[in-house]
Each structure stands twice: as C-alpha cells, then as structure tokens.
C-alpha cells in the first residue's frame, strides 16, 4: 500500500473495502504530509507520550503518532473503517482502536483503563459537525488530559481565540480560555483534504491548565456567560434577567452595583475576569 496521504492510496482503499465517504460523519481525510507533520510536531509527541485520537479515519495521523509515542488509543465511530485500520496500522502493536461514538464514551474510564491514569494528549482532525461538543466534553469534564491539539474549522478556532469586543468573542471563547491557553498552530486550506471541505481549517493547541480564577459556583459562571451571549444585542441586565438563570431584576441590579460591572453593557464587552466577578457577586446576592 502507498502513502496514506496519497489520493491514489485512498482510492485503492475505497475500492478494496467498498468504502464510501460519509458526509454525515464529517469524513474529510488529510492528503497533505506537511499538515500531518505540523499536527504531530505541534503536539510535541515523544516516546513517553500517551495519545488519545478521535476519528482516525484510515489512520494517517495514527501511523505517524504511533511511530513516535508510547501508546495510541483512537476512537472511531465508523465500522467500515475498522478493517481498513487493521491493514494500514498492521505494523504497530501500540495502537488500540475503540469502535464507539466519542460523545457517548466514558472518557475518564477510558483514559484510566488505556493509559493507567497517565494524562494523554488528545490529538485529532476532528469531525466538524461535532467539533464544539467534543472540545467542550474534553474541557468541561476536567478530564486528566495534558494537551489538546486539534484540527477544527478556522472560524471555530478564531472563536476559541477571540478577545472581548470582537465579533468572534462568545461563550466558546470564554469557556476555552477559562480551561486552557489556546494558540493557533497553522491554518490549513480545503485543498489539504479529500473530499475538500467548503471552509478553511486551523490546527489549534489548547494547553490545559487549572484556571487562576476563583469561582464561587462554576455553574453560575457558565450560566451567566450563556445568558449574556444568547442575547448579544441586549444589555446584560436584560439578557440575564430573561435567561436560564432565573435571577430577578432586583437581585441583578444589586449584583451589578456591588460588582461595579455596568448592567447597561453588552456581554461581548466583558473580560473573563469581569464575568467571574459578576457571577461570584450574583452567587453572593442570591444565597
Ligand atoms: N484522522 C483522519 C484524517 O485526518 O484523515 C480522519 C479525520 S475526519 C475529519 C473525522 C473522523 O472522525 C472520521 O474518521 C469519522 O468517521 C470520525 N468520526 C465522526 N464522528 C465520530 C464520532 N462521533 N465518534 C468518533 N469518531 C467519529
């Protein structure tokens, strides 16, 4: 079999295994060696590393990572790819394929069982239809993960990186920046994939670290953010008083007063620190 990034190899595999790309499963396979190296190098993989991959496809990244890492576990939903992976990754004895839906797997248990508790790096070219739920599952559950290096739509990576007072700044920016330090590794054009997606992609690295923000109640913090951004055009006072948090306007007015955050501002102008301050004050006022 030829190089896994070669379109002729992919066509050969498709014919041999009667495999068809599933648009619904976000199957856009990498056909650019340079991008595969950028991702693997962006993750700084060494021989002691444990890697968790999501969506190995035909194993193009899995192959490179297994050559460098101690162990790779890859979660793939598509049964039709299992015999393909058996062949493409036959040279390795440090790869385990888990045939499951990443959103349904108990990742904490999987990490414990596969890596004996050693925090893995998550490295993946993510299926785009569920990028945000996957990243949020990895971050929100506070799993033992040391690093996340993933390919996502460029527009989603830009939202993860966005700062206040920009159009891209939203609940995803705050959540990602609360749990990690994001940095763009590289931007990837549609021509690096087969079939080609409609939009550009970015490889983004999220260095997971404990936040230095002190939150009295994490749920109130995230609900405040959700409410503030679900009605972006409203003032904070109006957005929060009609949101999921169910805090009365009177209590909110007191919280704005006490925290010094102006309720007439829009959510998109608040820094993460200001969201934390406001949420902590809401907790104090409503207890
Ligand atoms: N890693 C390969 C590459 O770079 O060429 C394939 C990447 S492709 C963008 C996304 C992969 O995720 C596909 O193999 C797809 O079948 C798999 N996938 C889609 N939804 C999934 C899910 N819910 N759980 C696990 N894998 C999934």
Greatest CA separation for the chain: 69
Question: How many CB atoms within 10 Å of residue 76?
Answer: 25
Ligand 1 neighbours (beta carbon < 6 A): 25-30, 54-57, 60-61, 75-78, 101-103, 125, 127, 130
What pLDDT score was predicted for residue 179? 96
For residue 31, give the ligand 1 atom closest to its CA. Answer: 5
What pLDDT score was predicted for residue 82? 98
Would you say 147 and 181 are in contact if contact means Cβ atoms under 8 Å apart?
no
3-12 pLDDT per residue, tens? 999 999 999 9
Q: Whose CA is nearest to atom 11 of ligand 1?
A: 55
Q: Which of 10, 22, 31, 77 to mutate to test the pocket of ligand 1 (most atoms within 8 A of CB)?
A: 77
Would you say 60 and 83 are in contact if contact means Cβ atoms under 8 Å apart?
no
Q: Which residues contact 131 (CB under 8 A, 6 or more apart)?
A: 150, 152, 153, 156
CA angle at 138 for the pair 92 and 194, rounded to the nearest 5° = 55
Percent of all residues in the chain with a pLDDT value above 70, rounded to a whole number: 100
Sequence spans of domains, the chain: 7-208, 218-286
CA of 58 to the centre of ligand 1 (A): 9
For residue 134, give the ligand 1 atom closest to its CA. Answer: 23
What pLDDT score was predicted for residue 60? 98
117-175 pLDDT per residue, tens? 799 999 999 999 999 999 999 999 989 998 999 999 999 999 999 999 999 999 999 99
Q: Which residues contact 285 (CB under 8 A, 6 or more apart)?
A: 251, 254, 255, 258
Q: At what angle do helices 131-140 and 171-179 cross, to 10 degrees?
A: 40
User: Can you identify the CATH homologous superfamily of domain 218-286?
Assistant: rRNA adenine dimethylase, C-terminal domain (1.10.8.100)
According to DSSP H, which parts of the chain are helical? Answer: 7-17, 33-42, 60-68, 82-88, 107-115, 131-140, 154-161, 171-179, 218-230, 236-241, 249-259, 272-286
pLDDT tier, 116 (very low <50, low <70, confident <90, very high otherwise): confident
Mean pLDDT, the chain, integer:
96
Q: Whose CA is nearest to atom 19 of ligand 1?
A: 25
What pLDDT score was predicted for residue 1? 79
CA–CA separation, 165 and 275 (whole Å): 14
Positive or negative, the CA dihedral 280, 148, 187, 46 is: positive
User: Is 80 exceeded by the pLDDT of residue 30?
Assistant: yes
CA–CA separation, 113 and 202 (whole Å): 31
**Section 180-202 average pLDDT:** 97
What pLDDT score was predicted for residue 232? 85
**Section 253-259 average pLDDT:** 97
CA of 285 to the centre of ligand 1 (A): 46
CA–CA separation, 30 and 112 (whole Å): 30
**Section 261-265 average pLDDT:** 97
CA–CA separation, 99 and 90 (whole Å): 17
CA of 139 to the centre of ligand 1 (A): 19
CATH class (in words) of the domain with range 7-208: alpha beta
User: Is 90 exceeded by the pLDDT of residue 246?
Assistant: no
pLDDT tier, 2 (very low <50, low <70, confident <90, very high otherwise): confident
* Burial of 135: CB neighbours in 10 Å, binned 0-12, 13-18, 19+: buried
**Section 81-90 average pLDDT:** 98
**Section 79-87 average pLDDT:** 97
Q: What is the DSSP letter of 170?
A: S
Q: Which of 6, 23, 25 to mutate to test the pocket of ligand 1 (most atoms within 8 A of CB)?
A: 25
Q: With the CA atoms of 229, 123, 41 and 192 taken in that order, what torsion angle do they form, in degrees rounded to the nearest 10?
A: -80
Of 139, 203, 125, 145, residue with least CA distance to 174: 139
Q: Whose CA is nearest to atom 17 of ligand 1?
A: 55
What pLDDT score was predicted for residue 77? 98
What pLDDT score was predicted for residue 231? 86
CA of 82 to the centre of ligand 1 (A): 12
């Amino acid at each position: 079999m030829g190089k896994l990034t070669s379109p002729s190899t992919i066509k050969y595999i498709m014919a041999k295994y009667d495999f068809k790309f599933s648009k619904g499963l976000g199957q856009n396979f990498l056909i650019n060696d340079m991008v595969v190296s950028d991702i693997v190098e962006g993750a700084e993989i060494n021989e002691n590393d444990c890697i968790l991959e999501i969506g190995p496809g035909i194993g193009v990244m899995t192959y490179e990572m297994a050559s460098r890492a101690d162990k790779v576990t890859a979660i793939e939903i598509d049964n039709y790819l299992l015999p393909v992976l058996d062949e493409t990754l036959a040279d390795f004895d440090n790869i385990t394929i888990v045939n499951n839906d990443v959103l349904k797997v108990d990742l904490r248990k999987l990490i414990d069982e596969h890596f004996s508790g050693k925090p893995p790096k998550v490295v993946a070219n993510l299926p785009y239809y569920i990028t945000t739920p996957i990243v949020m599952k990895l971050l929100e559950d506070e799993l033992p993960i040391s690093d996340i290096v993933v390919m996502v739509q460029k527009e989603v990576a830009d939202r993860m990186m966005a700062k206040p007072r920009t159009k891209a700044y939203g609940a995803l920016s705050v959540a990602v920046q609360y749990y990690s330090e994001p940095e763009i590794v590289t931007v990837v054009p549609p021509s690096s994939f087969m079939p080609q997606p409609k939009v550009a992609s970015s490889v983004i690295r999220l260095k997971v670290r404990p936040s230095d923000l002190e939150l009295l109640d994490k749920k109130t913090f995230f609900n405040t953010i959700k409410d503030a951004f679900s009605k972006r055009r409203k003032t904070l006072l109006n957005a929060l008083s009609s949101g999921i948090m169910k805090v009365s306007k009177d209590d909110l007015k007191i919280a704005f007063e006490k925290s010094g955050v102006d309720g007439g501002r829009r959510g998109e102008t608040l820094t993460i620190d200001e969201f934390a301050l406001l949420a902590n004050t809401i907790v104090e006022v409503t207890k």
